[in-house]
Amino acid sequence: MAEDNRFRNVKQAEYEILKTILTHERINEIMKDSMGSGIVGSGRRAVVARERANKAVVNISGILRGMMLKRVKHLPEYHIDHGDVEGECL
């Protein structure tokens, strides 16, 4: 079957949205700017706030990656990430 760019199902569209959120450079820049605004002051308080922000990014990334991986089985066979249940695409 020839490759087709249209979404075959809702799960595939959701997968592409999640993949974009996790990999798009501009989204990453926006997140860094947003998280940076929550770190004010200096010294130990700033260090603790930065650690919390970094932990939050890791936690949310893990949740989104898990959501994305649950949708891999719904991708068409010709999709580059089809069958990638280990998350090697990211």
pLDDT in tens, 24-36: 999 888 888 888 7
Does residue 30 lie within any of the structural domains?
yes
Q: Where does the pLDDT of residue 86 fall: very low under 50, low under 70, confident under 90, or very high at 90 and above?
A: low
Does residue 65 lie within any of the structural domains?
yes
In this structure, what DSSP letter does residue 80 have? T
Amino acid symbol at 8: R
Does residue 46 lie within any of the structural domains?
yes
Which has the minimum average pLDDT: 10-14, 59-63, 66-70, 81-85? 81-85
Let me know: does 55 contact 35? Beta carbons within 8 Å.
no
Does residue 5 lie within any of the structural domains?
no
Q: CA 78 to CA 83: how far, in whole Å?
A: 10
Provide the CA 5 distance to its chain's centre, in angstroms: 21
Does residue 89 lie within any of the structural domains?
no
Does residue 83 lie within any of the structural domains?
no
* Domain region containing 58: 10-74
pTM, whole model, 2 decimals? 0.73
